[in-house]
Chain A
Amino acid sequence: SQQGEEDPQALSIQEGENATMNCSYKTSINNLQWYRQNSGRGLVHLILIRSNEREKHSGRLRVTLDTSKKSSSLLITASRAADTASYFCATPMGDAGNMLTFGGGTRLMVKP
């Protein structure tokens, strides 16, 4: 079963607006990662946030983590048409937490 679930499943915004995507997970984790996928091919790692961090920034990306609610959010500020992609959260699973499981993703469309 999937560990993480993103919402919304799809999001359409205008260029310049902010985009917020959420991820909920089920079991305790030490970190959570966000990935981006263009055109249904390989995923690219965006950012990793550890369980002792509440917020992390990388350029126009801001990730928050609330371990009490078992949820994370990804905020893309001042969106651009090039941000159009699918975004996935990933959490460790398995006995040693080595395996990554992914949610269903949020498909973001940024209209120019």
Chain B
Amino acid sequence: GAGVSQSPSNKVTEKGKDVELRCDPISGHTALYWYRQSLGQGLEFLIYFQGNSAPDKSGLPSDRFSAERTGGSVSTLTIQRTQQEDSAVYLCASSLGGYGTEAFFGQGTRLTVV
């Protein structure tokens, strides 16, 4: 597809379980972002990948959160031992990279921890 694809679109998990969220960026985009958005709130930056550089993980809220980007393309955000406060929409975006370039967003994964 031409856009950023995220899966699953919705995920309900039990507290304490691990979850993996997937993002397929637009082909050729070197930059990839993960954001988290709680209900009615703004976007909280989580992590940023740019090409082969070390990712900027400064936004990850705890060591339960990690992300990988394989082959400079697909990215997986993993949340271990999920907590109820992890419930949110997780948004992925990609861009061509470079200063302040336009970001293209996926439709997000709505995570609910029960």
Contact = CB atoms under 8 A, between A and B. Distances in A.
Interface of A: 2, 29-31, 33, 35, 40-45, 48, 88, 90-92, 94, 96-105, 107
A94 B48 contact: yes
Given A30-B100, A42-B91, A45-B102, A88 B43 contact: yes
| Size class of the contact patch on chain B | 20 to 34
A91 B33 CA distance: 14
A101 B56 CA distance: 13
15 contacts: A40-B37, A41-B89, A43-B43, A43-B91, A44-B105, A48-B102, A88-B42, A96-B99, A98-B98, A98-B100, A101-B45, A102-B45, A103-B42, A104-B41, A104-B42
Interface of B: 4, 31, 33, 35, 37, 39-43, 45, 48, 50, 56, 89, 91, 93, 95, 97-108
